[in-house]
Structure 1
Amino acid sequence: MRQQHQRGQHRTRFRVRRQQQQVKGHGPPPLVGCATRLSRRIASVAQKSPFRNTRFTHVGQLTQDGVALDGFHCAPYSPADLGVVLAHGFCNSVSTVSFRRIASRLGVQAGIVALSFRGHGRSGGRSSVGPAEVNDLAAGVHLARELGYRKIATVGFSMGAAVTLLHASQHVVDAVVSVSSPSRWYIRQTPAMRRLHWLVEAPLGRRLAPVLGVRLGEPWATIPVSPVEVVHRIGAPLLLVHGERDHYFPAEHGLALERAAGERAELWLEPGMGHAESGVTPDLVDRIGTWLNRTCIQTSMQQTSTRAVACRQ
């Protein structure tokens, strides 16, 4: 009993002394001290690169309409002319584990540039869920050219796949790979897409969107052009990859894009594959990398032959 009484007196004396110091200005109040330590910790973490993989170099880029984007550059193991600009899906970012695994494996065969879309990850701005993200992909392509890659390919997943198709219909690239792209907007035929539409359209869903990793912009005033309407304008070789078990966009979307694209498109319907980054296997990533390298080499040979014929004439 005497020991407990002594402990109580000691705590009381310590509490009184601490309060006297705070009144006299000696030392910060407890909450202020905790906040100061926490702010220092946050600042130290923010200064560090968000990527643990030493092959990933942290980069940033400004879009044509003034949005600051955050991302990484993954240099290939050996010098390569091919640079691949990756485009992630909705609610993902360049820090998503499945996306980084794809980038790391594809980076064995080519250089990789990836930027988080506006409203995602550490990038600024707000997501338009497709149309405005074309400017983000264009910024990534511009960065890849600045890094010295002579051949540029774009590879997109889900929303990023639709963005790659819209971008390639307006800009020149050497090859395009679209994985799990929708053929048109406002798809509600699957439960997963009905949940997504509730997220982007319902007031409560829009308030909850930041919890899922996306900051939404204003709803569309007019319906933008859909991928199936512009895919025929793509002049570069086009690879369409779609899973037969895609629970967001059924395989009919891949078939519709192939029909609209014409002879320049190649469609891979993957048995057992699900949706986008989470459905892609290491073997599929390797096959996409092989297709990109083969396609870009063939394109280079054709361009060389065309220039040679023109010189003779």
Structure 2
Amino acid sequence: MKWIKYIAVGAVLLYTVLCSILYLFQESLIFRPRQLASDYVFERGEEFFIPTADGVNLNVVAFRKPDARGAILFLHGNRGSNRRSFRQTQALMDASYDLYLMDYRGYGKSGGEIASEAQLYADAQTMYDTLLRHYAEQNIVVAGYSLGTGMASYLAAENNPAHCVLAAPYASITAMKNLWLWMVPDFILKYPLNTVENVARANCPVTVIHGQRDDFIPYDMAEAIKQAAPERVELIPLPNEGHRGAILDPTFARTILRLIE
């Protein structure tokens, strides 16, 4: 019957349009940057910029002490900027390790725009290489929250930090897509950010902190990350916390302080 043919053609067209929209606009769905004015002054810390290989300047805020024993690199979530990271890392600012907050491209006072997974990873590596010029690698701890766990786990796989701490991590962005848009093919994604694979390759111990009431990134993704390398991954469940609670709960800071003290 012709009407069945029309419905089938219409469904295919709608599906094609949906996939095209997701491919073209996935950056605006995944990344939610907040830009800061060029003259914005952070209330604490030392601000500087690091250049990428393609000439983009990334904004960094550091909390350094003369007698620091190492460095903590914090990679934030998909919203906000270094200004939001202040609240999330306050308990680490006076630790015995220096603390570094980095904004991704288009976030805060960083230039450029995010365009690929390879670019995200390369920018994180550029920041890590900057730390290597000042600290012994065995004294560097990498920490990430939500979106930042993909880059943090990548650094753990490609380098040899002392420890990697992941708060509210996803198994992969592909797995996140499949929670709601399972009908969309995986190749549409430019940002698979496979945390499970990164952790399986990690060259250091990994601690995962995840709220069991997280209704955005399910707790079972933390369990999947644990299973990627059971002998190297410590999983700390937070029974009463949701997604944001994983980074705001005192357990996050206490865990890092336990690792460095």
1:292 paired with 2:259, answer: yes
Query: Which residues of 2 match residues 96-245 of structure 1 at below 5 A?
Result: 96=84, 99-109=85-95, 110-128=97-115, 130-148=117-135, 151-186=139-174, 187-188=176-177, 224=192, 226-245=194-213
Aligned twin of 1:59: 48
Once residues 274 and 90 of structure 1 are traced to their aligned partners in structure 2, the CA distance between those partners, rounded to angstroms, is: 16
Once residues 275 and 289 of structure 1 are traced to their aligned partners in structure 2, the CA distance between those partners, rounded to angstroms, is: 19
Of 272, 277, 281, 2:248 maps to: 281
Structure 1 residues 273 and 90: CA distance shift in structure 2, 3 A: same
Structure 2, gaps ≥5 residues long: 1-36
Once residues 124 and 51 of structure 1 are traced to their aligned partners in structure 2, the CA distance between those partners, rounded to angstroms, is: 17
Residue 279 of structure 1 deviates from its aligned partner by 4.2
Supply the AA of the counterpart residue of 1:60: F
Aligned twin of 1:68: 57
Structure 1 residues 231 and 289: CA distance shift in structure 2, 3 A: closer
Once residues 68 and 232 of structure 1 are traced to their aligned partners in structure 2, the CA distance between those partners, rounded to angstroms, is: 31
Supply the AA of the counterpart residue of 1:244: Q
1:261 paired with 2:229, answer: yes
Aligned twin of 1:25: none
Find the residue that maps to 1:125 and give its secondary structure: coil
Once residues 273 and 189 of structure 1 are traced to their aligned partners in structure 2, the CA distance between those partners, rounded to angstroms, is: 23
Supply the AA of the counterpart residue of 2:52: T
Say whether the 8 Å CA contact 2:58–2:103 is kept in structure 1. yes
Higher CA-based Rg: 1
Find the residue that maps to 1:177 and give its secondary structure: strand
Aligned twin of 1:82: 70
Structure 1 residues 232 and 147: CA distance shift in structure 2, 3 A: same
Find the residue that maps to 1:103 and give its secondary structure: helix
Identity %: 22
1:50 paired with 2:17, answer: no
Q: What does the per-residue CA deviation read over 1:100-139, in whole Å, with 9 as the maximum and x for residues that have no partner?
A: 0233311222211111011222112212475422222222
Say whether the 8 Å CA contact 1:182–1:227 is kept in structure 2. yes
Residue 64 of structure 1 deviates from its aligned partner by 3.4
Say whether the 8 Å CA contact 1:130–1:163 is kept in structure 2. no
Q: What does the per-residue CA deviation read over 1:218-246, in whole Å, with 9 as the maximum and x for residues that have no partner?
A: x9676646121232110111111111111
Once residues 249 and 224 of structure 2 are traced to their aligned partners in structure 1, the CA distance between those partners, rounded to angstroms, is: 26
Once residues 246 and 41 of structure 2 are traced to their aligned partners in structure 1, the CA distance between those partners, rounded to angstroms, is: 24
Say whether the 8 Å CA contact 2:62–2:100 is kept in structure 1. yes
Once residues 88 and 248 of structure 1 are traced to their aligned partners in structure 2, the CA distance between those partners, rounded to angstroms, is: 16
Find the residue that maps to 2:254 and give its secondary structure: helix
Once residues 54 and 188 of structure 2 are traced to their aligned partners in structure 1, the CA distance between those partners, rounded to angstroms, is: 18
Say whether the 8 Å CA contact 1:134–1:164 is kept in structure 2. no
Residue 146 of structure 1 deviates from its aligned partner by 3.4
Say whether the 8 Å CA contact 2:165–2:256 is kept in structure 1. no
Report the aligned-residue RMSD: 2.8
Structure 1, gaps ≥5 residues long: 1-44, 195-200, 202-218, 295-313
Structure 1 residues 181 and 221: CA distance shift in structure 2, 3 A: closer
TM-score by length of 1: 0.62
Residue 283 of structure 1 deviates from its aligned partner by 2.1
